[in-house]
Structure 1
Amino acid sequence: MLRRHRIISPRTLLAWHQRLIKKKWMQPPSAGRPPVPQGLRQLIMRLGTENPHWGFRRVHGELRRPGHRVSPAAIRRILRAAGLGPAPRRHPTRGEWTTFLKAQSNGLLATDLLHVDTIGLQRLYALFVMEVHTRTVHILGVTAHPTAAWATQQARQLLWHLGEHAAGFTHLVRDRDAKFTAAFDAVFASEGITVAKAPPRSPNCNPHAERFIGSVREECANRLLIYDRGHAQRILHDYAHHFNEHRPHQGRQQLAPLDDPKVLLLPAARIKRRQAVTGLINEYRRAS
């Protein structure tokens, strides 16, 4: 009778009993070492990122100087969790190029090709060079069939146009496009300008040129239909004029490339609007 109306099985009852015994005699987990504070974790990752040739023991020694107390093993775990493996850490290329670009910006040129498509689906290519320190852009030429000889000739015309100003440049950053040949590099080498080739498939190593290409497309090329090569050349030259003489740049404290940073302008009582690049862009200037 009792077996027929039982609520639980003997196996369940025994399991509950064993669980109670285990709970009674189980020791509480030890607290262990206190966790590394978040601020110190960030400092460890910063040291590992900024110094790719430092191992965890070198980081440990550097942290002891300002009085931080953390074990080498903890530093190693934090660096590994952040993807900063044993030193020397691989692929520090982006950081090295960032440092190089900042150090050489006063005498740095950057070049690249940008493309636009016409209403007839013909692809046109424009070669440009930027003076990185001032962000001044030179549109060298537009063609449907860019060749190495064409790019080399455009480089010669640029240096002729720059004249004595070319002596202030020391490096040119370019990608590894086949149109940039040894003859192209030799044109700049003749003026004492060293050509620095960006790593393969690394547009981030030529950021100023890439940013200009993005600005052209966002503010100009993607907002109108281009008829032919002549139309594309006029539009790009108009945009370069706006870019150099009016467009503010964060890297220049919101000054345009050709603005004089020594000139302090007082607030204008009245301003007037001028439409540039076939009316695509508004420019605001002092009213006379």
Structure 2
Amino acid sequence: MDLFVVPTISFRLLHGLLIMGHGRRQILWFGVTAHPTAEWIANQLTQACGWEQIPRYLVRDRDGAYGEIFVRRVRSIGIRDRPTSPRSPWQNAYAERLIGSIRRECVDHIVVFSERHLRHVLLSYMSYYNGTRPHLSLNKDAPMSRAAETAGRILCRPILGGLHHQYARI
């Protein structure tokens, strides 16, 4: 779990919340707000995990936005909270790398107008990242595994307004 900042066209700063699973580096949840509070982050975690699919532990940084309300919610759900050491982004390397990919592959190329627009862009990117984007660490597969297509004509489908493309055989 990690927070990142995205500027809008009016130079307002929006905060994105990323929750990812470490197993296959799958994006589980995106949240967007102008003012992240501990209560909002706790609600986002509850919505992402639900009460049935509870992870065993949660790796996060020591951002001041994670307040006492958040810590109490994590404990009440039954998740072991593992904050990283101060000024140690390498201890949450998967999340930091994913935020860098989101910036390089998506947000740096799109002008964001509002919270709603950023949420739509991030959900579109999540669909692309989890279902289409190849990962070298996953043997050039996507986090949500897919079958190899070996026969048929190749079609190109634009994603995120042509920023990325999905190639599929029919």
Q: Please tell me the residue identity of whatever aligns with 2:47.
A: Q
Does residue 240 of the first structure (1) align with residue 97 of the second (2)? no
Q: 2:93 aligns with which of 175, 183, 207?
A: 207
Q: Please tell me the residue identity of whatever aligns with 1:181.
A: G
Contact 1:129 1:140 in 2 (8 A): yes
Does residue 283 of the first structure (1) align with residue 166 of the second (2)? yes
Bigger relative contact order, structure 1 or 2 (CA pairs below 8 A, ≥6 apart): 2
In structure 2, how many angstroms separate the alpha carbons of the residues matched to 1:120 and 1:198?
A: 33
Seen in structure 2, the aligned counterparts of structure 1 residues 174 and 279 have a Cα distance that, compared at 3 Å, is same
In structure 2, how many angstroms separate the alpha carbons of the residues matched to 1:132 and 1:142?
A: 21
Please give the secondary structure, in 2, of the residue aligned with 1:126. strand
Does residue 267 of the first structure (1) align with residue 144 of the second (2)? no
Q: Which residue of 2 aligns with 1:192?
A: 78
Shift, 1:273, TM fit: 0.7
In structure 2, how many angstroms separate the alpha carbons of the residues matched to 1:159 and 1:188?
A: 11
Q: CA RMSD in A?
A: 1.6
Shift, 1:251, TM fit: 2.0
Contact 1:139 1:236 in 2 (8 A): no
In structure 2, how many angstroms separate the alpha carbons of the residues matched to 1:139 and 1:222?
A: 20
User: Unpaired segments of 5 or more residues in structure 2?
Assistant: none
User: Unpaired segments of 5 or more residues in structure 1?
Assistant: 1-110
The percentage of aligned residue pairs carrying the same residue is 36
Q: Which has the larger radius of gyration?
A: 1
Once the two structures are overlaid, the 10-residue window that deviates more, 192-201 or 139-148, is 139-148
Q: Which residue of 1 aligns with 2:10?
A: 120
The normalised TM-score by structure 1 is 0.56
Does residue 131 of the first structure (1) align with residue 12 of the second (2)? no
- Answer 1 or 2: which has greater helix percent: 1
Q: Please tell me the residue identity of whatever aligns with 2:59.
A: V
- Answer 1 or 2: which has greater strand percent: 2
Shift, 1:266, TM fit: 4.8
Please give the secondary structure, in 2, of the residue aligned with 1:165. coil
Shift, 1:252, TM fit: 1.4
Q: 2:62 aligns with which of 176, 189, 201?
A: 176
Q: Which residue of 2 aligns with 1:22?
A: none
Shift, 1:237, TM fit: 0.7
Contact 2:133 2:141 in 1 (8 A): yes
Please give the secondary structure, in 1, of the residue aligned with 2:14. strand
Shift, 1:182, TM fit: 3.3
The normalised TM-score by structure 2 is 0.92
Does residue 219 of the first structure (1) align with residue 109 of the second (2)? no
Contact 1:126 1:139 in 2 (8 A): no
Q: Which residue of 2 aligns with 1:39?
A: none
In structure 1, how many angstroms separate the alpha carbons of the residues matched to 2:78 and 2:37?
A: 24
